[in-house]
Structure 1
Amino acid sequence: MAVPLYQAKAEFFRMLGHPVRIRVLELLGERPRQVRELLAEIDIEASSLSQQLGVLRRAGIVTSRREGTAVTYALAGPDVADLMRAARRILTEMLVGHVELLEALEAQQEPDTDDSRPAATVDSAGR
């Protein structure tokens, strides 16, 4: 039985759900990079980076090419870079909405000089 498309999409997004993988995809969206370049950009142990690159490679999102002792990684196609740009646009729009809401809330905030509130009292025991 075939996996429903929505389930396949959920698995795809779950596979993307790691900060290091997202950072790798962002960097590779700029240009192919050798592992040493990725290590210089991402604060992570080499073994952990290798593990995350393996996940992306097995998923078919990145490709690797060995050049002597160096391994260069690249995005498998332009769609992944498009997805990263789309995610950035969506997050930007969400944050702008939050900023606008925050500004509206701050504009509605009453001044702290409201004398109609009862003053806090402290008894001799400090309560």
Structure 2
Amino acid sequence: MKRDDAVARAKILKALANPTRLMMVDELSRGDRCVSDLRFLARVDPSVISRHLAQLKTAGIVIERRAGMRVIHHLECPCILQALDCTLGVMQSDAVRKSRLATVATRKA
């Protein structure tokens, strides 16, 4: 992998490296949302949601469009959900590994 590609990918992963932003991406996978829709998801101030959306937009994950007075946010690259699914696989694999280690440790005790 070239350095420029690694830097660009790291920027995307950094934008996802926050529980609130992950929840927002998950919610946007179900359809377009405005800030007030997303606010209830994380139970935070709209300005906090706007800052999180700005990071997701900068990374190219989310785009926005105007609908009258509202700004609607859209998941630009739904394929990002495959990466999130992969993290679930890593979590499950790690849980299995830890369970095996705990079993071995119990047998030795």
TM-score, normalised on structure 1?
0.71
Secondary structure in structure 1 of the residue aligned to 2:60: coil
Over 4 Å off, 4+ runs: none
Aligned equivalents of 1:3, 1:59: Cα separation in 2 = 17
Taking the TM superposition and a 5 Å limit, the aligned residue runs for 1:1-127 are: 4-109=4-109
Q: Which whole-Å CA distance do the structure 2 matches of 1:25 and 1:32 have between them?
A: 10
Structure 2: where are the runs of 5+ without partners? none
More displaced stretch, 35-44 vs 98-107: 98-107
2:34 and 2:72 in contact (8 A); partners too: yes
Give structure 1 stretches of 5+ with no counterpart.
Answer: 110-127
Partners of 1:103 and 1:71 in 2: CA distance = 52
The amino acid across from 2:28 in the alignment is: L
Alpha-carbon distance between aligned partners in 2 of 1:82 and 1:54, rounded to the nearest angstrom: 22
Q: Deviations over 1:32-81 (max 9, x none)?
A: 22222211111221111100101111221111122223322221022111
2:59 corresponds to which letter in structure 1?
A: A
- Contact residue 25 and residue 84 of structure 1 kept, 8 A: no
What's the % identity of the aligned pairs? Answer: 23
- Give the number of aligned pairs: 108
RMSD: 2.1
